[in-house]
Amino acid sequence: MSDPLRSLADAARAVTAAATDEDVLNIVAAAARDVIGARQAAARRGPNGAPHGPRLVAPLVARDGSSLGLLELWDKDGAFTRDDEAIVSALAQMAANAIETLELLNREHAARVEAEETGRRLLLEKQRAEALHRVGQAISRRLELQEIVQLATDAARELTPAQFGAFFYNVISDAGEAYMLYTLSGVERSAFERFPMPRNTDIFAPTFNGEGVVRLDDVLADPRYGHSAPYHGMPEGHLPVRSYLAVPVLTSDGEVVGGLFFGHPEPGMFSAEDEHMVAGIAAQSAIAIENARLYQERTRTAQTLQRALLPPHLPTIEGLELAATYRAAGEGNEVGGDFYDVFGQSDGSFALVVGDVCGKGPQAAAVTALARYTLRAHAVAGLRPSYQLVRLNDALLRQQAPGFVTAALARIDLTPAGVHLELATAGHPLPILARADGTATPIGDVGTPLGIIERPELPEVALALEPGDLLVFYTDGVSEAAAPRLILSEDDLARLVAEKAAEGPRAVVEHLERTAVANAGGNPRDDIACLALRVAAPLRVSQRFAAAPRAAHDVADALAPIAAELGERLAMDVRLLVTELVANAVRHTGVEGGTVAIEVRIAPRTVQLSVYDDGPGFELPERPIANPEGPGGWGLYLVDQCAARWGTERTDRHRVWLELDRG
């Protein structure tokens, strides 16, 4: 039997390139047979005579829950296992996704052909044909729904005698709720803002129901006009409409996504040619809207997969502060190859890794997953960084992964004697170490990228980290965001890190990302990933309270042991701020049986405070925070006034942190 992972990967690539449903079904059936070891396998769209004897069946389920067919296996030596079930289910879902994509592409192609045929048949005048072609090109280049509908409305109004027009269209929110929006042309929005959305009256119904075009020489003379409450016609103050033209906008499967409506204050203004022109624009708009939806779906899928390739949150590690940032290149509609991870190892140490997989898309995603999970799998052995990278190199060569991988991997040991770092790099930009004294330099030696040769050179360095030291890993998307015009050197990056090191890991990674994006004019050429850690000052206070009103009163007792070391004024500030934050956390946690925890660390130049709770957290308000006018809102106002630096973050719990300078 062939290697299961390779067979599944080959199947995924083949399914993506398949041209027909039959190709998809044959590919997944063959893959299922090869991976599971059954002698017989079949994938089909409809019912057929079922084979006799034990068999394993998985349905091909569409996104809307409907059945597209099934995948079944039989005639296997031995019983089917749960692993077999999982593989068959994955292949069935792969086939269902591919079939739906093919159907959508076929529908899109058919709709485009139909629209072009309609244009050739109906647009008799050369000028109109050229105009419609220009409009179609302009619309097809848009991927934002608002741009599509505005361009369509403007073009149709300009190419017909219409004095004003509107495009009412349906939108589905992320929560699945439908609502209607509109865009206008030839008139200010204020002319319609005070009127309600149009309803399915006798005149509007054919458009909103997708029944067909409505063209009236004089809407006031139409027998359907004026019978619907509450206005019994046009409301007072409405723009005068006599000539009326409305065209539904339908997708290739008949869904009504909206309607184009045009009016003129004089009767008899719209001809059959005008009707055909607007119908052509409506057809092109429908195709563009379907393309935009497909693009948005692809973007959401890529972003979902990208999130799956990154840790959902960074772990909480006693003695370390961690922060990471990731930004996909372009519009985020393709899976990138940059990744980072932090995980514990069997010997009590922690591994931190940042890597960059060559390429984008499904292949890069597969290699990224292989890299992350290979490194995590070997965490049980507690290997040195260079050995772990050797294991990853072996896995890449064994799987014949395309391209190569660069990585920087650190092993962090937190011992009573201090924090010990071992670092190995494989063709990756060197991490920047910012010491507590303000200096910042790259550390390590660049090794050989992984997945190319059997024995890569992977130099390793070891050093001790002191409280306040900060280490930053990054991918070349930071240094080469504006390449070839501008490439940041290691000295440039060290300077950027040093500028924000005193503010902590979160400030550093955000500063690097902002700088890279700004250098690239807002459009970086590559993905950006940053991971930073800082060795925290020794923990002086750590206490957990039940999320109850009494927690704020218990803060004073918890802080009493460090009052003398802080001094009277600073101790008072610490007690006030922690009390306010704990009270806020208790009020807003919203989790039954939840807890609130505080941590205080005293460094030579700063006091670092953290308050943790089980609640959902909140977005940082705009700063500076205004003086509250009512009884609430004083907690964050005081924090903003007193703290040298502060912020919030979400790991496994919500955290509000702040730093006070020791004067």
Distance of CA 324 to the CA centre of its chain: 15
Confirm whether 307 is domain-assigned: no
> Is residue 290 domain-shared with residue 350, that is, in the same domain?
no
- Say what the pLDDT of residue 119 is: 59
Here the tokens at position 50 are 């079922």
pLDDT digits (tens, 9 = 90+) for 597-610: 999 988 767 888 99
The parent domain of residue 76 ranges over: 4-104
Beta strands in 358-417 (DSSP E): 405-415
> Is residue 352 domain-shared with residue 411, that is, in the same domain?
yes
- Say what the pLDDT of residue 240 is: 77
> Is residue 218 domain-shared with residue 230, that is, in the same domain?
yes
Beta strands in 81-177 (DSSP E): 164-172
The domain total for the chain is 4
- Say what the pLDDT of residue 180 is: 63
70 phi, psi to nearest 5 deg: -155, 160
> Is residue 348 domain-shared with residue 453, that is, in the same domain?
yes
**Residue 505 to residue 229: CA distance in whole angstroms:** 62
**Residue 479 to residue 506: CA distance in whole angstroms:** 18
Spatial CA neighbour of 353 closest among 304, 405, 397, 288? 405
> Is residue 59 domain-shared with residue 169, that is, in the same domain?
no
Here the tokens at position 502 are 């005193």
Q: For the chain, what is the mean pLDDT?
A: 82
- Say what the pLDDT of residue 388 is: 93
- Structural domain ending residue among the three candidates 518, 535, 552: 535
pLDDT digits (tens, 9 = 90+) for 193-232: 666 666 667 778 888 888 888 898 888 888 787 666 666 6
CATH code for the domain of 653: 3.30.565.10
> Is residue 162 domain-shared with residue 80, that is, in the same domain?
no
Confirm whether 111 is domain-assigned: no
For 1-40, the DSSP string reads: ---HHHHHHHHHHHHHH--SHHHHHHHHHHHHHHHH--SE
Indicate if the pLDDT at residue 1 is higher than 50: no
Confirm whether 647 is domain-assigned: yes
pLDDT digits (tens, 9 = 90+) for 475-503: 998 998 877 888 889 999 999 999 999 88
- Say what the pLDDT of residue 490 is: 93
The answer for residues whose C-beta is within 8 angstroms of residue 311's C-beta and 6 or more apart is 340, 341, 342, 343
- Say what the pLDDT of residue 177 is: 52
- Say what the pLDDT of residue 546 is: 85
**Residue 447 to residue 458: CA distance in whole angstroms:** 5
pLDDT digits (tens, 9 = 90+) for 537-575: 776 788 888 888 787 778 888 888 888 888 888 989 999
> Is residue 457 domain-shared with residue 478, that is, in the same domain?
yes
> Is residue 60 domain-shared with residue 152, that is, in the same domain?
no
Here the tokens at position 97 are 């996704």
pLDDT digits (tens, 9 = 90+) for 504-541: 899 999 999 999 999 888 888 788 899 999 998 776 78
> Is residue 327 domain-shared with residue 422, that is, in the same domain?
yes
> Is residue 170 domain-shared with residue 67, that is, in the same domain?
no
Confidence of residue 394 (pLDDT cuts 50, 70, 90): very high
3-state secondary structure of 445: coil
Spatial CA neighbour of 617 closest among 648, 645, 574? 648
Strand order in the sheet with 40-44: 40-44, 67-74, 55-61
Spatial CA neighbour of 321 closest among 518, 537, 116, 136? 537
Contact predicate 251/111, CB 8 Å: yes
**Residue 308 to residue 304: CA distance in whole angstroms:** 6
The answer for residues whose C-beta is within 8 angstroms of residue 409's C-beta and 6 or more apart is 351, 352, 353, 375, 385, 388, 389, 423, 424, 425, 426
- Say what the pLDDT of residue 73 is: 82
Q: What is the mean pLDDT of residues 424-446?
A: 93
CATH code for the domain of 180: 3.30.450.40
> Is residue 283 domain-shared with residue 421, that is, in the same domain?
no
The answer for residues whose C-beta is within 8 angstroms of residue 294's C-beta and 6 or more apart is 104, 108
- Say what the pLDDT of residue 460 is: 95
**Residue 481 to residue 427: CA distance in whole angstroms:** 18
Confirm whether 154 is domain-assigned: yes
Exposed / middle / buried, residue 173 (Cβ in 10 Å: 0-12, 13-18, 19+): exposed
Exposed / middle / buried, residue 533 (Cβ in 10 Å: 0-12, 13-18, 19+): buried
Q: Which amino acid is at 14?
A: A
**Residue 372 to residue 365: CA distance in whole angstroms:** 11
Confirm whether 109 is domain-assigned: no
Contact predicate 600/540, CB 8 Å: yes
Contact predicate 411/385, CB 8 Å: yes
pLDDT digits (tens, 9 = 90+) for 231-279: 666 666 677 788 989 999 888 888 888 888 998 989 989 988 888 888 8
Stated pTM of the model: 0.51
**Residue 148 to residue 289: CA distance in whole angstroms:** 7
- Structural domain ending residue among the three candidates 535, 552, 583: 535
> Is residue 427 domain-shared with residue 475, that is, in the same domain?
yes
Phi-psi region at 214: left, alpha or beta (left = phi > 0; alpha = psi -120 to 50): beta
222 phi, psi to nearest 5 deg: -75, 135
Confirm whether 584 is domain-assigned: yes
pLDDT digits (tens, 9 = 90+) for 369-379: 788 888 888 87
Confirm whether 115 is domain-assigned: no
Indicate if the pLDDT at residue 396 is higher than 70: yes
- Structural domain ending residue among the three candidates 256, 274, 300: 300
Residue found by looking up tokens 């992984």 in the block: 450
| CA–CA–CA angle 77, 81, 85 (5° rounding) | 115
CATH code for the domain of 423: 3.60.40.10
Beta pairing, strands 405-415 & 418-426: antiparallel
Confirm whether 205 is domain-assigned: yes
- Say what the pLDDT of residue 438 is: 86
**Residue 35 to residue 92: CA distance in whole angstroms:** 14
The answer for residues whose C-beta is within 8 angstroms of residue 283's C-beta and 6 or more apart is 111, 114, 115, 118
Q: CA 373 → CA 37, 340, 407, 419, 633, distances in Å?
A: 26, 12, 14, 26, 45
Question: What is the number of helices (H) and of strands (E) in the chain?
Answer: 16, 23
